[in-house]
Amino acid sequence: MTLRLRKGSTREKNQSFVRQSKPFILGLLCSALALGGGLAIANTHSKEVTSDTGLRFIQIAAKNKEERSAVAQTGVSIEAVRSDSVWVFANSKQISRLKERGFHVLGNFDYKTSRGGHETLFDFPSGDSKFHNYDRMTQELHALQSENPDLVSLTSIGKSLEGRNIWAIHFNTSKDALSQNVSNKPGIVYMGNHHAREHVSLEIPLMLAKHLVDHKNDPQIAQLLENRDVWIIPMVNPDGAEFDISTGSYQWWRKNRRPNGDGTFGVDLNRNYSYEWGTGGSETDTSSETYLGTNPFSEPETQAVRDFVRGHLNLKVLLSFHTFSELILYPWGYTYDGISKTKDQETYKRMATTMAQWNHYTPQQSSALYIASGDTTDWSYGELGIFSFTFELSPSGMEGGGFYPGQKVIDKVFKDNLQPCLYLLQVAGNPYQVLDSGTENTWLSNYVQPGSFAQ
Ligand code: 0X9
Ligand code: ZN
């Protein structure tokens, strides 16, 4: 069976930060090599590339969040951000629009997108075999359940458009809670892989699940598990993730695999949530990488997350893993305005800065990256009051491999983020307790204090 990208199928809009000062082009070249030629620089294959998708990889002068948001409003996908400019994928229409609006194009490269004609493999390139495709992830999750029936149960929160189960793994020390999938204990949910090509964002929640099981008898973890209801949904977008690895070469795919009816594919799941949906930083153009869908929650994947979260009113904290840029983001993303409830704003800031001391990521409001509406965390906080974060995991920039940093980074990314994950698990008891003076340093030196749980 062969798989071809349809003419006009869309490359993803990714919005990430590159905050390094090293010459970016070096990173671009390294990334191109790491991708096995995924990015073609200068004239290589330009005719073929242009006839495939017309997408170009261009650098535009933009030096602050307002200018970045204005760039995003032209419908391009921001791939990387520097202090003075952004790198975007853009078609010729969008390039003209950018120029008309006065943006200065600093660089313009071919982007080789099509891998048409390859066998479908649905697996990672051999150098990245540590990553989990859908089947291997599913096997791991089943194994965790069957080896730990008193602590773990595996459930599907719904099916993707192409019919794959969206798995949620549930940790609870109560048998009843496990069998009924509900609990009165304070809850937390970790999610990964909303965006197809962000494969590291699947590995980290999967490793967290394994870590909790492997350390279930350690006093600190045991006490956390005893007092919390824990959910991990490692792959929200299985169709997109599988498509990204369908040919043996990465496809740079971001969205789900919705056929939009006009030859284009995909809705950006992180623009499809209902809170302030469609109010900025998303696109009605179906070919856009940030296409918002026909309606809020038009996609089965976001519907599944919505119904799961609404069905678990004990959830106090939500963490959605994305890549890349090394950021800790909190609402709002749809507006530059801060959170009007001062206590919540302070709680968010305290949580984010505390976690940053472990992973050394940059804590900030989501919209400081750029305005984007319809993302998971604006919705879960805006509709349900759940303290919700987006982590943009490593690397920090394109020169570190961007979306495809290679399997060598996985262990370190997990190590960097374990303490923040456990901290969130603890403070899920009552997030406002982070405002109590003195607790922050205690958690930093000894992240779980026996007896310090809000019951
Ligand atoms: O654009 C996104 O969906 C996220 N970045 S990514 O590179 N992983 O695509 C960031 C979402 C942050 N939220 C807002 N800025 N609203
Ligand atoms: Zn993402």
* Whole-number pLDDT of residue 179: 95
Do 420 and 393 form a contact (C-beta atoms < 8 A)? Answer: no
| pLDDT at site 38 | 28
Q: Which of 313, 407, 393, 411 is nearest to 355 (CA)?
A: 393
291: its two tokens: 């296409």
Q: Is the pLDDT score of 211 beyond 50? A: yes
* 88-123 CB burial, b ≥16 within 10 A, e <16: bbbbeebbebbeeeebebeeebbbbbbbeeeeeebb
In sequence order, what are the residues at sequence separation of 6 or more whose Cβ sits closer than 8 angstroms to the Cβ of residue 279?
334, 373
- In this model, does residue 242 exceed pLDDT 70? yes
CA of 299 to the centre of ligand 2 (A): 17
CA–centroid distance, 178 to ligand 2, in Å, is 30
Atom 7 of ligand 1, nearest CA residue: 15
Cα of 319 vs centre of ligand 1, distance in Å, is 13
pLDDT score for 444? 55
What's the pLDDT at 94?
Answer: 87
User: Does the pLDDT at position 261 exceed 70?
Assistant: yes
Q: Tell me the average pLDDT across 18-24.
A: 30
Query: Which architecture, in CATH terms, is 126-446?
Result: 3-Layer(aba) Sandwich (3.40)
How far apart are the CA of 376 and the centre of ligand 1, in A?
A: 10
**Residue 67 · residue 78 · CB < 8 Å:** no
Question: Which atom number of ligand 1 is nearest to the Cα of residue 369?
Answer: 15
pLDDT given at position 101: 92
For ligand 1, atom 12, the nearest C-alpha belongs to 366
317 or 85, higher pLDDT: 317
Identified catalytic residue from 242, 299, 392, 399: 392
Most ligand 1 atoms within 8 A of CB, residue of 10, 14, 66, 86 to mutate: 14
Q: Omega into 23 within 30° of 0, i.e. cis?
A: no
Does residue 359 have a pLDDT over 90?
A: yes
What CATH architecture does domain 10-112 belong to?
2-Layer Sandwich (3.30)
Q: 10 Å Cβ neighbour count for 445? A: 8
Average pLDDT over residues 182-204: 98
| C-beta atoms surrounding 149 within 10 Å | 10
Q: Which residue did the predictor score with more confidence, 97 or 51?
A: 97
User: Quick one: which ligand is closest to 72's CA?
Assistant: 1
CA of 145 to the centre of ligand 1 (A): 32
How does pLDDT run across 405-428, given as a tens digit for each residue?
999 999 999 999 999 999 999 999
> What is the CA angle 146-148-151, rounded to 5?
125
Which ligand is closest to the CA of 12, given by its number?
1
Give the model's pLDDT for residue 110: 63
Nearest ligand to the C-alpha of residue 402? 1
CB atoms within 10 A of CB 359: 22
pTM above 0.75, yes or no: yes
Domain extents in the chain: 10-112, 126-446
Answer yes or no: is pLDDT of 11 > 90: no
Confidence (pLDDT) at 442? 60
Q: Tokens representing 304?
A: 């599944």
* Confidence at residue 440, expressed as pLDDT on a 0 to 100 scale: 61
Q: What is the pLDDT of residue 21?
A: 29
H-helix segments, 228-299: 238-244
Enter the tokens of residue 43. 């004239």
Q: Which residue has the higher pLDDT, 46 or 286?
A: 286
State how far the Cα of 420 lies from the Cα of 307, in Å rounded to an integer.
Answer: 26
Given its phi and psi angles, is residue 395 left (phi above 0), alpha (psi -120 to 50 degrees) or beta? beta
Q: Give residue ranges with CB within 6 A of ligand 1.
A: 14-16, 195, 198, 270, 322, 329, 333, 366-367, 369-370, 372, 375, 390, 392
On whether the CB atoms of residues 363 and 420 are closer than 8 A, the answer is no
Q: What is the pLDDT of residue 451?
A: 42
- In ligand 1, the atom with minimum distance to the C-alpha of 378 is 16
C-alpha to C-alpha distance for 238 and 220, rounded to whole angstroms = 33
Q: Per-residue pLDDT for 256 more than 90?
A: yes
Closest Cα to atom 3 of ligand 1: 270
| Integer CA distances (angstroms), 313 to 3, 216, 282, 307, 383, in order | 42, 25, 29, 11, 12
Cα–Cα distances (Å) from 298 to 166, 253, 258, 283, 303, in that order, read 16, 19, 10, 14, 7
Residue 100 in this model has a pLDDT that exceeds 80: yes
Tell whether the model's pLDDT for residue 17 goes beyond 60.
Answer: no
Give the amino acid at 355: M
**Ligand with an atom nearest the CA of residue 15:** 1
- 231 bridge partner residues: 170, 189
233 touches 170 (CB < 8 A): no
Please check whether the two domains, 10-112 and 126-446, share a CATH topology: no
* Catalytic site includes residue 399: no
Instruction: Tell me the average pLDDT across 252-280.
Output: 97
Cα–Cα distance for residue pair 155/186, rounded to 1 Å: 19
Query: What mean pLDDT comes out for the span 61-71?
Result: 91
Query: Which residue from 392, 393, 396, 403 has its CB within 8 A of the most atoms of ligand 1, so it is best to mutate?
Result: 392
* Segment 304-349, tens digit of pLDDT: 999 999 999 999 999 999 999 999 999 999 999 999 999 999 999 9
Residue 40 has pLDDT above 70, yes or no: no
